Chains A and B, each alone.
Chain A
Amino acid sequence: MTLVRSGSRREVVSRGSALLALGVAGGLLLPRRARAAHDMSAREQELYAAARKEGELTWYMSHSDDATAQALGRNFEALYPPLKANVVRTTAQVAFQRVSQEIKAGAMQVDVLSTTDIGHYVYLKEKALLEKYVPENASKVLDIYKNYDPDGTFFVTSAGMIAIGYNTARLKEADAPKNWTGLTDPKWKDKIALGHPGFSGYVGTWVVAMRKLYGWQFFESLARNNPQIGRSINDTVTMLNAGERLIAGSGPVSTAMSSAQKGNPLAMIYPIDGTVLIIAPSGIMKGAKHPNAARLFMEYLLSAEASQIWVEHFNESLRPEVTPPPGITSAKDVKTIRPSADEITKGIPEVIKQWRDTFGV
């Protein structure tokens, strides 16, 4: 019987990956420079020293697509060597499903949880499953991102927008719908792609916002247009790039713009009733195996370095000193709408049920 204990396996694996990286990559990826000690605050130095003893952390992440998530993880590794970040990117509800499984099994694997459904944090906090830690950097972000939890168990670490995306090679801007309600026009039958609120926290929040604006009949009309339903909100961008659909009804601005930058024929319409702004938190799990690395990571998520990566991937900057490159539309340039934390917490479980009844899955 080959029972491999997890300690020895990790060793084999990390040695194996080191070999792989050395042998094949050979300096293919130049890491950003490690953070010099004199650039660090006293608390940061202390956390870094303690985190080095822990060696790594595990981050369940649904704030962005996989590419942005991995870039954030790699940048953390470069700033604080030799710490390792295990970045597991899934949709919000799948991440929460894994966390629930871990809670139920009594074996917490995740250190920092970053989902896009604020209701998760309200629930976890209620069950005393979040650890209190107020990052130093929490006071240095823009005011609108401050103080979501006065008790200091979770903090806003990311913000992004949902608008209407379209394939510019197959649809002229003049013909594209100008507002959310335009999506229900019968001429878009079989042309729209959507994500799924049962997976994506972005989509869940968007559905709550739409229900608030137009009532559930909006989705009943939308269902008549037979949209293609994926899981992640980012799947809509794939559907546009492939030419499978023309319009991303729930279009993630950052993923679509990153993709457009790579040469794909994509553009966004910012609806007149308001672009949906998503504010997504992170928190440290109680019983995390790497508590100091987790704290350091929370500091990092709120740092200017992380905001720099966010704007490079067309998300919002949390820090006043980091501004998006000129010509990029950010939340301050358009009219935005946003359901309250309460509306989201109550609303998402409801709309998932309604969605399943209306769309069948």
Chain B
Amino acid sequence: MNSAVLAPAAWRSALDRRLHFVEPGMALWLLLIAALVFLVASPMLRLVVASFQEPESGRFTLANYAQAYGRLSHLRAILNSLELGTGVALLAGIFGVPIAWAISRTDMPAKGFVRLMVFGAFIIPPYLGAIGWILLAGPNAGWLNKVWMALTGASHGIFNVYSMAGLIIVVAVASFPYVFVFTSSALDLVSSEMEDAASILGAGTLRTTFGVTLPLVLPAIIGGLIVSFLEAIALFGAPALIALPARFHVVSTQLWQFFEYPVRVEEAAAYAMPLLAITVLMFALQRSLLGRRGYVAVSGKGGERRMIRLGAWRWAMLGYALAVCLLSVLLPMLVLMQAAFAKAWGRGFALDNLTLANFRYILFEQTQAQQAILNTFLYAGASAFAAIALSLAIAYVVSRKLVPWSNVLALLCMAPFVIPGVVLAIGFYAAYAPPPLALYGSAAIIILGFTTRFLPIAYTASAAGLRSINPEMEEAVRNLGGGRFAAIRTVLAPLLKKSLAGAWILVFIPATRELSSAIFLVGPHTRVISVMLFDLSEEGNFEVLSALGAILLLATIAIAAVSFRIVGRDFMLRGS
């Protein structure tokens, strides 16, 4: 009886005690998990649920799956995507691995230039590359084919961009930088001792490279190939430009078709599931490969590294690297610039073909372009700030183990990496476009979508930055009586400035060119350059397209360069 009377009071004091001990961290944790559920878990859950729902009634059904997979052409699109992904991964390996090896391990000349070109290949959106390649390898009018016909007198060109092979090349030249980055960062850690051992035993450079060096970094190479594969199967823009005239579909273009009238979100959700499953599987495979600790040589930093002397072969190596740069950056950019300043690109490089009319049209005559240009950079900037703020908070909570189960946060943060952009956008559309949130056509839905899409990049960069800072420095602040936020403000923030600026740019650049998730989320007032390019590309108006693409590229490079500069002046973290 007594206990019953006392119970509420005791309970209350226990609660008081507990609340007293709850650090603000707990509230923060709840806030963060809520944000992640909103951004990541809920749209994906909505997508999975929708795939089992009848469109009107919402009742459980398997009909969406039956319809999505009941047509031969839909199944063929899945096979095409797999072929595309495999082809791109292999070709990206052929492009990326030798260049990474040459830069990291040999005395090949002009490394700085080659590095710059690889970075260039990274910042050119694949759909712009695709337009460049249409101008280069259109079966009759493409520049390469014209040159071929002029040289040989042949009546037909030899290249046809409108084919699976064409699409594979176009996507591979855009995604080999992933293989390059993975491979060269692993090669940078391999010491020369093992190679020395091989050469002492009589192996030549070739044998050493293929027998020792490359096997040591094989997990990293495969990691890069997998990322290229995943990028390729999730891509929407380049396949839409090339696959349609080539008369085939891939999963992403087929998904888009489900949004034709009548809009079949549920069927699209069902059809998106294999893409999601493949991505999750490949990602798991990649993690297990890279996570392996068997390659001791790669995990240590000790040991001397010397550059292999290639002798005359270094020129051959440079030739190969330049050939890849030519295919990925120089040729497509050259023809895009020609088209951007041309009255009609087919008329070639002639003075009387030069004009600024395409830029004037885009900047002043088009009613939408100015706004689209501004939107693009506003949304990309806002998304980059949001993604970094969120991921930094989470990375801090995780690395300092402020709350239990902090790994759940990390996992949710990385989850969007396995969600292809088109699929993510369909999830966002299904979850947040209709009431109660009714975000369709708003800037918010795009910024939220981009934030989610690029959260893994932001998180990886933030976590890496935090790992490099020893917690003892913050502890010193706290020992001297400063609170956690004082420690963050006075110690962490200044130390992290550089890596956060880098992270901001890493999110900002892909966000300026994002097409596959934007295409389902834009309204008439929230159009971005990528979507406008896609709409304009229906008419095949390559001159105007190239001009808009040039504006996108120049502005992106300028903003990235300026933000690098301003970092030194405390721009990025002002007020934090």
Asked whether A66 and B367 contact (CB < 8 A) given A105-B433, A231-B244, the answer is no
Interface size class of B (residues with CB under 8 A): 35 or more
| Complex Cα gap A65–B536 (Å) | 9
| Complex Cα gap A232–B537 (Å) | 9
Q: Is A174 close to B, CB under 8 A?
A: no
- Report B-chain residues with C-beta under 8 Å of the C-beta of A237: 540
- Report A-chain residues with C-beta under 8 Å of the C-beta of B319: none
Q: Is A4 close to B, CB under 8 A?
A: yes
Asked whether A235 and B539 contact (CB < 8 A) given A86-B525, A107-B433, A109-B524, the answer is yes
The reply to whether B343 and A263 form a contact with Cβ atoms under 8 Å apart is yes
The reply to whether B366 and A6 form a contact with Cβ atoms under 8 Å apart is no
- The 8 A CB mask of B370-414 against A (1 = contact, 0 = none) is 110011001000110110011000000000000000000000000
Partner-contacting stretch, out of A7-15, A136-144, A179-187, A316-324? A7-15
| B249 contact from A24, A58, A361, Cβ within 8 A | A361
The reply to whether A88 and B535 form a contact with Cβ atoms under 8 Å apart is yes
Q: Is B208 close to A, CB under 8 A?
A: no
- Report B-chain residues with C-beta under 8 Å of the C-beta of A85: 367
Asked whether A244 and B374 contact (CB < 8 A) given A1-B35, A6-B525, the answer is no
The reply to whether A242 and B440 form a contact with Cβ atoms under 8 Å apart is no
Q: Is B442 close to A, CB under 8 A?
A: yes
Asked whether A361 and B247 contact (CB < 8 A) given A105-B429, A232-B540, the answer is yes
Q: Is B434 close to A, CB under 8 A?
A: yes
> Closest residue to B39 on the A side, CB-wise?
A1
The reply to whether B378 and A93 form a contact with Cβ atoms under 8 Å apart is no
Q: Is A20 close to B, CB under 8 A?
A: yes
| Complex Cα gap A67–B162 (Å) | 27
Q: How many A-B residue pairs have CB under 8 A?
A: 198
Asked whether A94 and B535 contact (CB < 8 A) given A21-B364, A244-B139, the answer is yes
Interface centre among A1, A58, A71, A107 (most CB of B within 10 A): A1
| A199 contact from B259, B263, B538, Cβ within 8 A | B538
| Complex Cα gap A66–B548 (Å) | 14
- Report A-chain residues with C-beta under 8 Å of the C-beta of B368: 86-88
Q: Is A82 close to B, CB under 8 A?
A: no
| A2 contact from B139, B386, B523, B540, Cβ within 8 A | B386
The reply to whether A243 and B382 form a contact with Cβ atoms under 8 Å apart is no
- Report A-chain residues with C-beta under 8 Å of the C-beta of B361: 67
The reply to whether A229 and B245 form a contact with Cβ atoms under 8 Å apart is yes
Asked whether A17 and B370 contact (CB < 8 A) given A101-B520, A109-B440, A110-B524, the answer is yes
| Complex Cα gap A95–B291 (Å) | 47
- Report A-chain residues with C-beta under 8 Å of the C-beta of B535: 88-90, 94
Q: Is B262 close to A, CB under 8 A?
A: yes
The reply to whether B444 and A6 form a contact with Cβ atoms under 8 Å apart is yes
- The 8 A CB mask of A1-38 against B (1 = contact, 0 = none) is 11111100110110011001100110011000000000
Q: Is A100 close to B, CB under 8 A?
A: yes
Asked whether A91 and B364 contact (CB < 8 A) given A3-B444, A105-B429, the answer is no
- The 8 A CB mask of B336-357 against A (1 = contact, 0 = none) is 0000000111100000000000
Q: Is A356 close to B, CB under 8 A?
A: yes
The reply to whether B260 and A2 form a contact with Cβ atoms under 8 Å apart is no
The reply to whether B73 and A91 form a contact with Cβ atoms under 8 Å apart is no
- Report A-chain residues with C-beta under 8 Å of the C-beta of B447: 2-4
Q: Is A96 close to B, CB under 8 A?
A: yes
| Complex Cα gap A58–B441 (Å) | 12
| Complex Cα gap A13–B370 (Å) | 9
Q: Could you list which residues of chain A lie within 8 angstroms of chain B, going by C-beta atoms?
A: 1-6, 9-10, 12-13, 16-17, 20-21, 24-25, 28-29, 58, 60, 65-67, 70-71, 73-74, 77, 84-91, 93-94, 96-97, 100-102, 104-107, 109-110, 190, 196, 198-199, 228-232, 234-235, 237-239, 241-245, 262-264, 356, 359-361
What are 19 A-B contacts defined by CB distance under 8 Å? A4-B443, A4-B444, A5-B444, A12-B378, A13-B378, A25-B364, A28-B360, A66-B539, A94-B535, A101-B429, A101-B433, A102-B440, A107-B434, A190-B140, A199-B538, A231-B537, A243-B141, A263-B344, A264-B344
